[in-house]
Chain A
Amino acid sequence: MKNRTLAEDFYKGLWQENPIFRQLLGMCPTLAVTNAVINGIAMGLAVAFVLIFSSVIISSLKKIFPPQVRIASYIVIIATFVTIADRFLQAFFPSISKSLGPYVPLIVVNCIILARQEAFSSKNPVGRSFIDALGMSAGFMLGLLILSSIREILGSGTFLGYQVLGSWFKPWLIMILPPGAFMTLGILLALAIQIEKKLKSRS
């Protein structure tokens, strides 16, 4: 655990400690905004922005926070970056901001971000925290992409708004509704556990 290389810090976010499939953190945006790929990408980028900046700032300032108020300080810092991301989307991508609705401000309470500060940035140097945040963001983005691709293709017959399935295809409405999110996530989690089992038995 202690002698991890930077590459390992990055890759663990993609699979071993993938926020969505392995840690099951940040389920609220994962389920809510993955009805279209574009929303998944926008959410993934917003979370990456907040996570990377918060991790860098918190790990560089970690010594000045008295332990009693560290969580409060982390939350204020995270909320600052979330608000910046929200305003930025409203100003430059109004249509995406509209379709993400309240889920951008809700990144403040996304567990991945606070968990990485508590578990990693507050104990590790800036460089490693940056790489860790990058890996976690990439893992989160990967999860959102897989989930939203499945839901958009089956639920609307489109990918990123382009028709990919012919007119013979009758969209499965349920896939873009909340139950579709739960079912897809459940199946993907089961798959992830199976793959992990296989990997373990091989090594």
Chain B
Amino acid sequence: MSLSARIILVLTCVGLLSGGFLATVGLLTKERIALNREKEIEEAILAVVPGASSSQKLYEGEGLTIYAGKDASGVLRGYAIHASGVGFQDKIVLMFGTNPALTKIRKLAVLEQKETPGLGAKITDEESFLRYWEEKDCTTELKLRKPAASSPQELSPSEVNTITGATISSEAVLKTVNLSLKLLKGLQLERELLGEEKDEE
């Protein structure tokens, strides 16, 4: 066999074999990987909408996904909004829950971030950031408290806290939440959300 024929044969075989192998591995793991992602989202929804025990996707578009959180008897306990925004280093993906009337933010959770460890990464920290987001009045736009307050009681109902040294990350979270709320309320005005909701119940 000439050298070039051998080269072609060997490379083709190596490519085909590893391709076939990878296709098999891909098929075997695909389901589990998708399941892991769903589970992660489901857990986040139930965590940000207190009292909810099941969730249902209502709307997807414009960079946000909206879920309804319902309790065991099917009563709507609130909405969970899955959104992302640009942080200091990379995308910040977060989830926050509201009450059914969309007047209050129940809780916030940060799902993905690559902020600076020890500074911006504190947005995932309960003690220094997340607890300041509980039960916030979101009838108007939320505002950032700067310099940072040291306890949730110091903040007004529509204020959230800054992380000292990580204003950009705190602002990025706030901006994402405010923008999502604006879009969400726009949707509600068009009765897309509520309309769908009524049809089901």
Q: Does A177 contact B (CB under 8 A)?
A: yes
Q: How far is the CB of A91 from chain B (nearest CB, A)?
A: 4
B29 near A91 (CB under 8 angstroms)?
yes
Does chain A have a CB within 8 A of B117? yes
Interface status of B26 (Cβ within 8 A of chain A): yes
Which residues on the B side are within 8 Å of A76 (C-beta)? 14-15, 18
Give the dominant DSSP class at B's interface: helix
Residues of chain B with a CB closer than 8 A to A84's CB: 21-22, 25
Chain B count of residues within 8 A CB distance of the other chain: 22
Interface string of B95-117 (1 = CB under 8 A from A): 00000000000000000100011
Q: Smallest distance from the beta carbon of A142 to chain B beta carbons, Å?
A: 25
Write the nearest CB–CB distance from A64 to chain B, whole angstroms: 6
- State how many angstroms separate the Cβ of B122 from the closest Cβ of chain A: 11
B contact residues around A72 at 8 Å (CB): 11
B33: contacting residue among A73, A79, A87, A171, CB under 8 A: A87
Do A90 and B118 touch (CB < 8 A)?
A: no
Tell whether, in the assembled complex, residue B3 and residue A66 are in contact, meaning their CB atoms are under 8 Å apart: yes
Q: Report if A16 contacts B (CB, 8 A).
A: no
The reply to whether B118 and A94 form a contact with Cβ atoms under 8 Å apart is no
Judging by beta carbons under 8 Å apart, are B18 and A77 in contact? yes
Q: Which of A69, A83, A176 is close to B25, meaning CB atoms less than 8 Å apart?
A: A83
Q: Determine if A80 and B22 form an interchain contact, defined as CB atoms under 8 angstroms apart.
A: yes
Instruction: State whether B7 touches A68 (Cβ < 8 A).
Output: yes
B32 in contact (CB, < 8 A): yes
Q: Which residues of B contact A90 (CB under 8 A)?
A: 29, 33, 36
Q: CA A76 – CA B119 in complex, angstroms?
A: 40
8 Å CB interface, A150-203 against B: 171, 173, 176-177
Alpha-carbon distance A11/B6, docked complex (angstroms): 38
Any A CB within 8 A of the CB of B40: yes
Is B10 among interface residues, defined by CB-CB distance under 8 A?
yes
Contacts of A91 in B (CB 8 A): 29, 32-33, 36
Contacts of B26 in A (CB 8 A): 87
* A69–B29 touching, CB < 8 Å: no
Scoring B6, B25, B26, B40 by chain A CB atoms within 10 A of each residue's CB, the highest score goes to: B25
A102 to B18, CA, bound (A): 21
Q: Which residues of A contact B112 (CB under 8 A)?
A: 98
Contact B117–A69 (Cβ < 8 Å): no
Residues of B within 8 A of A73 (CB): 10-11, 14
Question: B18 — which chain A residues lie within 8 A by C-beta?
Answer: 76-77, 79-80
Which of A69, A92, A171 contacts B11, CB < 8 Å? A69
Name A63-121 residues within 8 Å CB distance of B: 64-66, 68-69, 72-73, 76-77, 79-80, 83-84, 87-88, 90-92, 94, 98
19 additional A-B pairs beyond A91-B32, A92-B32, beta carbons within 8 Å, are A66-B10, A69-B7, A69-B10, A69-B11, A76-B14, A76-B18, A80-B18, A83-B25, A84-B22, A87-B26, A87-B33, A91-B36, A94-B33, A94-B36, A94-B40, A173-B118, A176-B118, A177-B116, A177-B117
A/B interface sample: 18 pairs, CB < 8 A: A65-B10, A69-B7, A72-B11, A73-B11, A73-B14, A76-B18, A77-B18, A79-B18, A80-B18, A83-B25, A84-B21, A90-B29, A90-B33, A90-B36, A94-B33, A171-B118, A173-B117, A177-B116
